[in-house]
Chain A
């Protein structure tokens, strides 16, 4: 057979780098096919599904209180908020009014979840940029929140504390004291984060004007959460459609306008401060009363379709339930924030360097099990 020699000039050759599914900076089993020209990125093609567990399908054969335990395993850093989504959907469908106490506790725990999620994000984001010390600072402070979770919920990360109609059990007697101690502590240590990373000249150079996402892009790709709010998009579910006790607290929706990596970073940093404000407003005012509403032993939703959305640490999480009147949902669909946030990666990282891709990926704060479900 005649051997064919194809002459391609070096200019036309593409260098395809297979980043993942095992890579230190994809934060899980995400696989990115990166087409490079030198170090400049031409195209990023995400391949997902490495941790697909079929949570939606499994939910079809589980009762509603059981589904809660699967939701923890989606976005494991927003476990408590994921639980809340199902609980709110079921409660709204059945027209159950939960006690005020439950609403307050749910809100406080949701905000603590948001803080610990952002702490972990900060820790790993710093590491993505090469600042290894950030990781230890973030983890040190996150530990305090996990201890609070452990005491009240029993679990540290996978809490499963919510249940349709209320909470699994009442809060630990030390809960309020510990949370207040944590707020005092974290108000002191959060400025350390700024001193270590935010003001650093290398960090600024690495993040400013990197991965710029316009407001239009954010809308057309369905970006939510801090990533969208950094592009000037007001999309905080807590503000627009308040659930639990969010209508009883005063807080600002953090909005930045440049849409670059630095703004996404600053948005999350400010969210941590704002979450502390929310907790401070609620922690002393938790009303007395029962921590649950009596529900029927077998929960059956009336035939119909139900949708509930909540604001997780990464954006808008929606649960869409179709019920045929049985004790299990006919179909359950999750609108996960990470799934939508992932696909902008290609658009905003074109023309950037490999190091920028890592920074952008870090600033989108993706949790892979939530993408695959």
Chain B
């Protein structure tokens, strides 16, 4: 196969072989875990910083502004400057706040998003853990974040925070269903929950093309529901700065605030990655039927670039939503989920099952 030139399994197995020659199996696994952890953590930080910068540039583009352009070329170091500032900001401790929970909450939020990123296949063989229930795992850990938000709102001893947290709880629990069901639609088509296998199955065509109309409906539903699940505009009711000042993180300052802020962007990155992996073929290049020449050229674009490009498109769409739509009201938000998205999703799953049973897909 042509894209074997970009197979990261060669690299990882070489690391594994050379390590196991000089170490016992236990220390080999331990060292590999440390390496994987450091690499993922670094990637995580870079993605977070880049997305904050990207959001600023995108929103400036939407709003007739220039955006950051002073720190470094095109302002690329602006987020780093801001991060340094946030590190120096005083951590205000709130009287009557539940000290323990207040301090733990940002970590829960950030750990939840950190765990989810481990299962995402960035390229062939470039995946920290390849679970056979990858889709299930990602959905499970990414919904842990809401616990942190609820704790943050509760422990702050602030009425705005409490309202924001309660809103967030209702919202994430509801939209989790739609996210799960739209992913299940694709799992039905793929016949597997392992993310690497789902990507492999799309080598002759992405699922959004293979799965007829149900796949397209599922993709649209997924984009809507996942935007809501990550608490981003127009579904940013948990923050709702015009109503609740800053919602659940009103009382947080300095690096604790930065954790929430970073987790929001990473969550956006994760849902975009999952969307790209399940619907748009992950790191698979774009292939058209039997056009061998065209397919061959596409193979030479590194899979990592394919992956980032697809994720970037979805992230851009989500930013586009945020900067052009007004915010929904809490009852309208729940109505949208329970009365429209959920029934549509259920019908869609049945439709997809029918298509798979009859073998109507490509």
Contact = CB atoms under 8 A, between A and B. Distances in A.
Interface of A: 15, 17-18, 23-25, 39, 126-133, 135-137, 140, 196-197, 200, 202-203, 205-206, 353-356, 358
Contacts of A356: 329
A130 B242 contact: yes
A202 B325 contact: yes
Given A25-B242, A196-B324, A202-B325, A130 B234 contact: yes
B243 A358 contact: yes
- Residue with the highest number of chain B CB atoms closer than 10 Å, among A39, A128, A131, A132: A132
Given A127-B242, A130-B240, A353 B64 contact: no
Interface of B: 59, 62-65, 159-160, 163, 167, 233-234, 236-237, 240-245, 323-332
A353 B242 contact: no
Contacts of A197: 326
B240 A353 contact: no
Contacts of A24: 241-242, 245
A262 to B, nearest CB: 12
Contact of B234 (A126, A128, A202): A202
A39 B237 CA distance: 12
Contacts of B62: 133
Contacts of A126: 326
A128 B240 CA distance: 9
Contacts of A136: 63-65
Contact of B326 (A15, A18, A23, A130): A130
A126 to B, nearest CB: 7
Contact of B64 (A17, A127, A131, A140): A140
B329 A206 contact: yes
A195 to B, nearest CB: 10
Contact of A200 (B243, B325, B329): B325
Contacts of B64: 136-137, 140
A354 B163 contact: yes
A333 to B, nearest CB: 34
A355 B328 CA distance: 9
A127 B241 CA distance: 9
B328 A206 contact: yes
A135 B245 CA distance: 17
A142 B66 CA distance: 19
B332 A130 contact: no
A131 B322 CA distance: 8
A285 to B, nearest CB: 34
9 contacts: A39-B330, A128-B242, A130-B236, A130-B240, A131-B325, A133-B63, A206-B327, A353-B329, A355-B243
Contacts of B236: 130
A25 B240 CA distance: 11
B234 A355 contact: no
B329 A17 contact: no
Given A130-B236, A202-B328, 16 more contacts: A17-B159, A17-B160, A18-B159, A23-B245, A24-B241, A24-B242, A131-B325, A131-B326, A136-B63, A137-B63, A137-B64, A196-B324, A202-B332, A206-B326, A353-B331, A354-B243
Given A136-B63, A136-B65, A130 B327 contact: yes
Nearest to B65: A136
Nearest to A205: B332
Nearest to A140: B64
Contacts of B329: 205-206, 353, 355-356
A263 B68 CA distance: 38
Contacts of A130: 233-234, 236, 240, 242, 325-327
- Residue with the highest number of chain A CB atoms closer than 10 Å, among B159, B242, B243, B326: B326
